Amino acid sequence: MMVPAPAQHINTPRPPAGSGVTHTVLALQDRRHQFSSDRMGLLLLLASTLLCGCIQSGIVASEDTSFKISSVTLTIEPAEEVPRNTNVTLRCQTKVLTSGSMALTRKYTIFKENRIVHTKMTESSDDVLYLLPEARVSNNGKYVCQLTIEGEALSSQPKKLKVMGLSKPTLHLNRTYLTEGDTVTATCSAPGETGVFGFYFYDDSVELGDVQTDSNRAQSTLHFTTLGPHRLHCFYTVDNMPVDVKSEESNEVIVTVRGLSIKPVLEISPENNVYEGDPLNISCRVETSGLNSENIEVYLSQDGNSRWLSMGKTNTKHRMTATGPQLTFECMMTMEHLKKSERRNVTVIELFSAPVLTMSPAEVFQEEPMTLTCRSEKVASEKLNRDELSYYLSSNQSFASNGSGVFKVKALKTDHICIAQARGIRKTSKVLKVHPKVAVSVPKISLQDKPILEQPFHVLCQSAVGSLPITYILYSNSTKLKETVVHLPNQTALFTVVIYNAKELGSYKCEARNGGKRMQSEELVISAIVPLSRPTLTVLPDLSDISEGDQLNLICAVNGTPPVTFRWYREGDKHPLRITTSAETFKDYEVAVVSKQHSGLYYCEAENRASIMVRSNPVDIDVRMALWKKAMIGGIVFLFILLVVTAGCVLHYRSKRVRVNRSAVSVWTERKPEADNEEDHSTVSNEPDVEYTEVVHPRSAEAARAPLRRGTDTVYSELQNSTHGPPEGHDYVSNTRDTQHICSFSDQILGSVNSNSCIHACRTTVM
Q: Write out pLDDT tens, residues 346-369.
A: 999 999 999 999 999 888 888 889
Residue 397's pLDDT is what?
60
Residue 398's pLDDT is what?
65
Q: Out of 59-63, 646-650, 655-659, which region has the weakest mean confidence (pLDDT)?
A: 59-63
Question: Of the ranges 33-42, 156-165, 496-505, which is most confident?
Answer: 156-165
Cis upstream peptide for 242 (omega within 30°): yes
DSSP string across 485-517: EE-STT--EEEEE----TT-EEEEEEEEEETTE
Length of the chain, please? Answer: 767
Residue 536's pLDDT is what?
94
Q: Are 167 and 137 in contact (CB under 8 A)?
A: no
Instruction: Work out the pLDDT band at 727, boundaries 50, 70, 90.
Output: very low
Instruction: Work out the pLDDT band at 291, boundaries 50, 70, 90.
Output: low
Instruction: Work out the pLDDT band at 471, boundaries 50, 70, 90.
Output: very high
Q: Are 209 and 236 in contact (CB under 8 A)?
A: no
Residue 583's pLDDT is what?
92
Which of the pair, 620 or 50, is modelled with greater confidence? Answer: 620
Percent of the chain with pLDDT over 70: 76
Inter-CA distances, 400 with 201, 390, 416, 419, 421, Å = 65, 11, 11, 10, 13
Mean pLDDT of 544-569: 91
Task: Indicate the DSSP class of residue 466.
Answer: -
Count of Cβ atoms closer than 10 Å to residue 179 Cβ? 12
H/E stretch holding 32 reads: helix 19-34
Q: Which residues contact 357 (CB under 8 A, 6 or more apart)?
A: 372, 373, 374, 393, 416, 417, 418, 429, 430, 432
**CA–CA dist 21, 50 (Å, integer):** 6
State whether the Cα torsion 232-238-239-244 is positive or negative.
Answer: negative
pTM beyond 0.75: the answer is no
Find the helix packing angle between 732-749 and 627-655, rounded to 10°.
160
Q: Out of 312-326, 587-601, 748-762, which region has the weakest mean confidence (pLDDT)?
A: 748-762
Q: Are 374 and 524 in contact (CB under 8 A)?
A: no
Instruction: Work out the pLDDT band at 746, boundaries 50, 70, 90.
Output: very low
Question: Comparing C-alpha atoms, which of 237, 259, 262, 240 is closest to residue 249?
Answer: 237
pLDDT(744) > 50? no
**CA–CA dist 179, 257 (Å, integer):** 5
**Residue 693, helix vs strand vs coil:** strand
In sequence order, the β-bridge partners of residue 110 are 118, 145
Report the chain's C-alpha Rg in angstroms.
70
Instruction: Work out the pLDDT band at 290, boundaries 50, 70, 90.
Output: low
pLDDT in tens, 1-40: 333 333 333 333 333 333 333 333 334 344 444 434 454 4
Q: Which residues contact 439 (CB under 8 A, 6 or more apart)?
A: 365, 366, 465, 466, 467, 514, 515, 517, 519
